[in-house]
Amino acid sequence: MDSKAYWVGFNFVKGIGAVRFKALLDYFGDAAVAWQAPYDGLKAAGLPPKVIDHFLQVRKGMNPDLALEKIISQDIRVFTWNDEKYPRLLKQIDQPPPVIYVKGDLLAQDDWAAAIVGTRRVTAYGRQVAAELGRFLAQHGVTVVSGLARGVDSLAHSAAVAAGGRTIAVLGSGVDQIYPPENRGLAEKIIQQGAVISDYPPGTPPESANFPPRNRIISGLSQATVVVEAGEESGALITSTFAADQGRDVFALPGSIYAPQSKGTNRLIQQGARPLLDFNEILEALNMSRAPQQQSLRLAIPANEVEADLLAALGSEPVHIDEIGQQSGLPMNKVSAALAMMELKGMVRHVGGMNYVLARETPSRYEIE
């Protein structure tokens, strides 16, 4: 039986998310073994009694192999942590989803992605910015990520599609349950020029509780998150919080102090988000203007022991090149050359004075069970 089928099987069990699934893998060493485990073994692995009872009910009525076959027959692709096609940026976040379902395709160039999110009740100002920004990023080789919701999300996706660029829609339902229904046509276009993805198994309806957790995937797939318009209680603010916790850049569009749709974005700026004053700032801040060069270099120069040693010596705080050399035990000429290449590949960032940091760190206070 395909071991991936057991990952899918566990994904159908409410209460077993990234944290608990990893605990099962750590304890049993394999998803197949965990799937067959008795009650006492599951309890020893750390599952609460209620979750165990629910799992045993699901297991009794489910054949994981047949479930996976059915999913694949719907032209839905399944990726786990073990798959090379699992998105690199998403895998870097704290507690990435063990399984994602994809309609369409994910490409290496999607490493250069920016999320555009915002309110459903968008103003004329917000509509203009969302559409123009989606088109601008797509034209510059940046994949536009959003949530397929009404308002800002739909405008951003549509603009990227119209510009011939790539875009990814992250759903709070199964990928076979497009929501809102009026965006089914847009979803089909997105599938042709990108992907519709979800960490919820096919058949999952668009319940309100699903949307806040899925926002961590929107930000997790993106190097930057741009909040176009958002009220004080907007879900887009949740996405920006996840992005900040994941060590990703957050931009917010300044707006009128009288407009309800700008209260959230203005507050974000007050709290430290970068005000979006020029679209080029997104490219410059994340070095996205060099995305084609970075992509070709990443494909041409595979990771090696030198890169691994240097990455181990770096973190979110600046480290001088001399200290990096001492920690890695490598000669300085090799350290200097490797760091230059790693910066082009988007792995590290030079912050001045011969000090370097990791390009992305992924701390998070959120635990997705």
Please report whether residue 114 resides in a domain.
yes
Q: Does residue 280 share a domain with residue 322?
A: no
**Where does the chain have alpha helices with state H?**
3-11, 18-28, 31-35, 39-44, 49-60, 64-73, 88-91, 124-139, 152-162, 184-192, 211-220, 235-245, 260-270, 280-285, 291-300, 305-312, 321-328, 332-344
- Residue 368 placed within a domain: no
Structural domain that includes position 10: 1-72
Q: CA–CA separation, 252 vs 267, rounded Å?
A: 9
138 and 47 fall within a common domain: no
Indicate which CATH number applies to the domain containing 52. Answer: 1.10.150
Cis peptide before 180 (omega within 30 of 0): yes
- Which of 289, 316, 345 lies at the terminal end of a domain, its last residue? 289
Domain end position, chosen among 269, 289, 309: 289
pTM: 0.77
pLDDT band at 367 (very low <50, low <70, confident <90, very high): very low
- Could you tell me which residue, 315 or 94, shows the higher pLDDT? 94
- One domain for residues 135 and 281: yes
Name the average pLDDT for the chain: 88
Same structural domain, 129 and 228:
yes
Looking at the fold, whether 263 and 312 belong to one and the same domain comes out as no
Residue at 185 is within a domain = yes
Q: Total domain count for the chain?
A: 3
Q: Per-residue pLDDT tens for 200-254?
A: 999 999 988 899 889 999 999 999 999 999 887 777 888 888 888 888 989 999 9
Which of 48, 72, 96 terminates a domain? The answer is 72
Same domain? 131 vs 269: yes
253 and 197 within one domain: yes
pLDDT score recorded for residue 113: 93
CB atoms within 10 A of CB 113: 26
pLDDT for res 290? 57
| pLDDT bracket for residue 1 (50, 70, 90) | very low
